[in-house]
Structure 1
Amino acid sequence: MVWRRTLTTLAVASSMGLLACAGLPQRSPDGGPAPLQPEAASGYTPKPGWAYPRFAVAAAHPLAVQAGQQMLQAGGTAIDAAVAVQMVLSLVEPQSSGIGGGAFLLYADGVQVQAYDGRETAPAGVHERWFLRPDGQPLGFHDAAVGGRAVGVPGMVRMLELAHREHGRLPWGALLQPAIALAEQGFAIGPRLHQLLGQDRFLAQDPVARAYFYDPQGLPWPVGHVLRNPELAVVLRAVAQHGAQALHEGAIAQAIVAKVQSHAHNPGTLSLADLAAYQPRKRQALCSNYTAQTRSYWLCGFPPPSAGGIAVGQILGILQHTAAATMPLQNGAPSAQWLHHYHEAARLAWADRALYVADPDFVPAPASHWASLLEPSYLAERARLIGPQPMKTAPAGQPASTSTARYAPMPEQAEYGTSHISIADAEGHTLAMTSSIEDQFGARQMVSTNHQRLGGFLLNNQLTDFSFTPTDINGQPIANRIEPGKRPRSSMAPTLVLDAQSGQVLASAGSPGGALIIHYTAKALHGMLQWGLSPQQAIDLPNFGTLGGPLLLETGRFDTSTLQELQTHGSPFKSTPMTSGLHILHRGQSNGQPVWQGGADPRREGIVLGN
């Protein structure tokens, strides 16, 4: 069939055409180590930006984008395209997301914005000391992540099935055919996957993953090697025929449980009952008013258990109440003064994130509703804490009617992974979906139902997004502590921007990047809405952010004068590679006609296609 030949040809061409260069760990200006990044840098390939009049798909790999485009050309909806895109990503971008993980999806159908929660849940067998050593100290990150201990109940496929049932048009089984064909025929390994395989210290310890990703000498397959995954093809065929039930019950579920529970050194408790019981959640999107250049918008983000929607909304909302709101770019990049204001606003958002945000089925919202953290009066109050000098400590706020916090702040800890998809269909229905298996290659556990067949799929390590320490030193509980059935806090930030007057969707945005997702997304939104940049220009801006401490700056992207001014000002900062993977669609004009402008991150291999 035509689409099979097209996908196979594009697999080789796109993989061979990418620029690769090693992203080595770098020291910061103060001499300390740079913070760990979710996935290593693998080069910088300039992207042209795109424009399509009818529909568009932006995602992390050309083959996945091609699959989504084909569904839209066949008359499918944005949801149909998202299913096809994600199933292909499970094959071609296994380090970031897949059917063994979870996702958050925002969908605008012209009437409302709906939030579909496919976040993983903690198995029934966990307890609050799950990530503590016998001496009470927290495990090291990879001591917890590698193996079965951190595997949460996968939720992405059941969530997509629900969204498709409500908004899909094409048959479910047809949406999986591009991924099945590619799994059978193979795809050419690109520089990014090859480099990440070579850098990973844990993946080859799993015999199934080693046989699939590495040659007989234990070296990662070279760039251009055609990698086939017949086992994944079998699994996807079962899901195509029987839906998510095929993953959550029966032979595939049994293989998942066996993989988790039989790990030699770090087993988990995930059970058949956990898998069978999993249900996605429909939540109310978290939308806040935002004004830029005299135009009023609704910023719609994902609610808890994601911290992304709140933090992005808080940062941009706080900046509106400071001088930074009207500061222009300086030589094509944010100025030192603007970066100071951004850093302070972000630190305030981080303090609220650490104290309040967790699974809403377990933890009440401050002032009884999460929107209290985004109210204009609250953000104005927070903005008044920002002065000309850096705050010594950024305190958490207290929205009106909130009693003294019953929880302790969660200490900052490593957070990884993910992939982002933005899609607009021919009817104007638009989605933003961020999916993840958490760390690079997740738990490094590859599931196969038949070891005579090569390949399979990787499991997540999402439970490491819970606080490893359940209480502070005074015994006060941390909101994001691990509990049976609970969904871990996330920083995934799929975002839709709507015109406040008409309700029309104007943009879809999001990124991978662990906790730095929040900053990558906020940067791009500010760039488009306040600085008037195109999606590609906003993505191309230097990256910056914070994890609650010093300001992080993308290595080599800020001029000496900016760094010197920050140093003189007393703003602590570190330079580090910051491998975002932003994908954005934005309504614009071309030759006087409305179009979807698209942008893809030059730091990764994504593209935008449409019609």
Structure 2
Amino acid sequence: MDYQTVSPRRKWLGIVVSAAMLGMPVAALADAAFQYEAPAIEPERASGYSEKPGWATERFAVAAANPLATDAGYQVLKAGGSAVDAAIAVQMVLTLVEPQSSGIGGGAFLMHYDGSDVTAFDGRETAPRAATESLFLNGDGEPLEFMDAAASGLSVGVPGTVRMLEKAHEAYGKLPWAELFTPAITLAEEGFPVSHRLHTSLAGEERLRDDALAGTFYYTEDGEPLEEGHLLKNPALGSILRDIAEQGSKAMHTGDIAEDLVQRVQGHPGRPGAISLEDMATYVTKQRDPICTDWLAYRVCGFPPPSSGHLTVMQILGTMEHLPDLETPLEEGQPSAEWLHRFLEASRLAFADRGRYIADPDFVDAPGGSWSAMLEPDYLALRAQLIEEQSMGPDGASPGNPGDVETTWAVQPNQPEYGTSHISIIDEEGNGLAMTTTIESAFGSRMLADGGTGQPGGYLLNNELTDFSFRPLDADGTPIANRVEAGKRPRSSMSPTLVFDRESDELIASLGSPGGAAIIHYTAKALVAMLDWGLNAQEALDLPHAITLGGPAFLEEGRFDPAILEALNELGHEASERELTSGLQAIMRTEEGFFGGADPRREGVVMGD
């Protein structure tokens, strides 16, 4: 086997992709525009909080949730690839090295800027044709326990990530599709060291061991999680990625890979799902118009429904704009109690609207005929009037009426939302993207699929359908907008965001986060910190978190002065501490180029030249 020369910087695996690995003649590989070298870096420790420096670059930057994935995107950009090219390489590596968060078995939202226009690519999973609104109800008509539903075939939606990336590549790719799979194929076949975060995620997971394939792949014979640093090879995923590299998304949605997925979902031993080969073959990526909202001196562009992210983020920020200015929103490196009170109250109001109105726009009409009605300044000014010196308290916020016609949807009860990963990239030509990608909760449906290869490993299937409301109706029999329906896309909180200067139209920032419904709070606070408070991207991501989904408030454990928690409780927030593990990535334009930040709560990094 012929190997390319490895630079001294890249001796971690000792080899790079070869012609034999790709099934190509040596001469063909030599002519390829992109030649991947396995990086001489190992994933850093990821549990807890690890300070990061921030990264300055001059020409381009890529931020992702794992150093191996970031490096794959960096090498693609270095070889002249576009932002979309880099995102494809990053996602395929994340499927391998961060399988608990995203992958080819899930879905994604991608916001792309080509120098003049912003496009929103919707790769959200869909409910099977055979799904009904009683999908997550037991025999007594009551909702299943969340994990009983999630760790089953019932929860698996038709995946959309690969087909979405293919559509984006057709529009904005520069390097050949097949070359972008080289990093992930190389690492899958030659192995990568299990990161601390993957190890701890495996150790804390109860149901993954129950899956025959996953239990033997990610755990020892004694049921112990693979140790940090263990060189893990995934030949099944390598074979699957080879097929997708050669045949495109057709390989994922038809043939052996699709048949294997359908068999696993329909054959789940406890709660089989209903995905069919027709569901797989007919999945369609949607290209949607982004929602761009003026805020301060900027234009913030985000994803429309079925994501609730942008609408809810901008409702929070827009509502706070109508409140009197605070002299000290930051005190000793922390958001002040006064600012947090306003932020939490605005969040309660925004989440009340989210729970009633937002769902798949192919099934639900926007209030007032336009989703932007929820962001009208006059409407948000009325909502701001509801914020007083004392908190409205848990469950004290009610939905407003942003449209001219009263909407009859019921309010969806709160239920868990988890998971996800985020990628931000700006390439040398100034094209930018923000892509948030997910399989929902950690390890998705706890089902590993080997694509019918019979080899060890594979990819995890999503549990995305649990983002639907388990209850289709409220107590009065009024339908819930985000109930399960055949072919419908579940509501999401993912908030991939691109920010522009309103005067020059220059791209200013790309950002986003994982974190379930708390994605909204993490993204909103990062926008405020970077664009209103003047912090750099890393400083903004370092700030402690505070959230509410409408009920009690939660502050990030151990990160706030106890006096702030006490002050919020005196105001009626019923606040307590808990772990709030975001995974923010952000890139901001500077006079010298770009400055990127990666969340200190996870193992991501930023790279660029």
TM-score by length of 1: 0.93
1:6 shift after superposition: 5.9
* Runs (5+) with no aligned partner, structure 2: 15-37
**1:244 aligned onto 2:271:** no
Equivalent residue in structure 2 for 1:608, among 588, 591, 606: 606
Distance 1:470 1:357, change over 3 A: same
Aligned mates of 2:295, 2:530 — CA distance in 1:
13
Aligned mates of 1:364, 1:325 — CA distance in 2:
37
Match of 2:487, SS?
Answer: coil
CA RMSD of aligned residues (A): 1.4
Aligned mates of 2:5, 2:133 — CA distance in 1:
53
Q: Deviations over 1:362-419 (max 9, x none)?
A: 0000111111111111111111111111115212111242x11121010010011100
Matches within 5 A, 1:425-440: 425-440=427-442
- The residue number in structure 2 matching 1:449 is 451
Aligned mates of 2:469, 2:519 — CA distance in 1:
19
Aligned mates of 2:440, 2:182 — CA distance in 1:
26
- The residue number in structure 2 matching 1:329 is 330
Aligned mates of 1:12, 1:193 — CA distance in 2:
19
Matches within 5 A, 1:545-560: 545-560=547-562
Equivalent residue in structure 2 for 1:195, among 187, 195, 200: 200
- The residue number in structure 2 matching 1:476 is 478
Equivalent residue in structure 2 for 1:399, among 369, 392, 402: 402
Distance 1:534 1:558, change over 3 A: same
Q: Deviations over 1:80-106 (max 9, x none)?
A: 000000000000000000000000000
Counting matched residue pairs gives 579
Distance 1:338 1:256, change over 3 A: same
Aligned mates of 1:189, 1:130 — CA distance in 2:
36
Matches within 5 A, 1:213-362: 213-291=218-296, 296-323=297-324, 327-362=328-363
Are 1:7 and 1:63, in contact at CA under 8 Å, matched by a contact in 2? Answer: no
* Runs (5+) with no aligned partner, structure 1: 20-41
1:8 shift after superposition: 3.4
Aligned mates of 1:524, 1:600 — CA distance in 2:
12
Distance 1:523 1:397, change over 3 A: same
- The residue number in structure 2 matching 1:376 is 377
Q: Deviations over 1:136-190 (max 9, x none)?
A: 1100001111121110000010000000000000000000010000000010011
What one-letter code is carried by the residue in structure 1 that aligns with 2:341? H
- The residue number in structure 2 matching 1:39 is none
Aligned mates of 2:344, 2:490 — CA distance in 1:
26
Aligned mates of 1:564, 1:438 — CA distance in 2:
34
- The residue number in structure 1 matching 2:594 is 596
Matches within 5 A, 1:537-548: 537-548=539-550
- The residue number in structure 2 matching 1:79 is 84
1:567 shift after superposition: 2.4
Aligned mates of 1:332, 1:2 — CA distance in 2:
47
Moved over 2 A (4+): 1-15, 323-328, 449-452, 567-571
Aligned mates of 1:206, 1:397 — CA distance in 2:
45
Aligned mates of 1:456, 1:396 — CA distance in 2:
44
Match of 2:125, SS?
Answer: coil
* Percent of aligned positions that are identical: 54
1:564 shift after superposition: 2.1
Aligned mates of 2:369, 2:554 — CA distance in 1:
34
- The residue number in structure 1 matching 2:366 is 365
1:325 shift after superposition: 5.9
Equivalent residue in structure 2 for 1:467, among 466, 469, 483: 469
- The residue number in structure 2 matching 1:51 is 56
Match of 2:301, SS?
Answer: strand
Distance 1:2 1:63, change over 3 A: farther
- The residue number in structure 2 matching 1:419 is 421
Are 1:12 and 1:224, in contact at CA under 8 Å, matched by a contact in 2? Answer: no
**1:536 aligned onto 2:538:** yes
TM-score by length of 2: 0.93
- The residue number in structure 2 matching 1:158 is 163
What one-letter code is carried by the residue in structure 2 that aligns with 1:14? E
Aligned mates of 1:2, 1:306 — CA distance in 2:
45
- The residue number in structure 1 matching 2:178 is 173
Aligned mates of 1:253, 1:141 — CA distance in 2:
26
Are 2:392 and 2:572, in contact at CA under 8 Å, matched by a contact in 1? Answer: no
Q: Deviations over 1:24-44 (max 9, x none)?
A: xxxxxxxxxxxxxxxxxx221
- The residue number in structure 1 matching 2:412 is 410
- The residue number in structure 2 matching 1:35 is none
Aligned mates of 2:39, 2:265 — CA distance in 1:
32
1:571 shift after superposition: 2.5
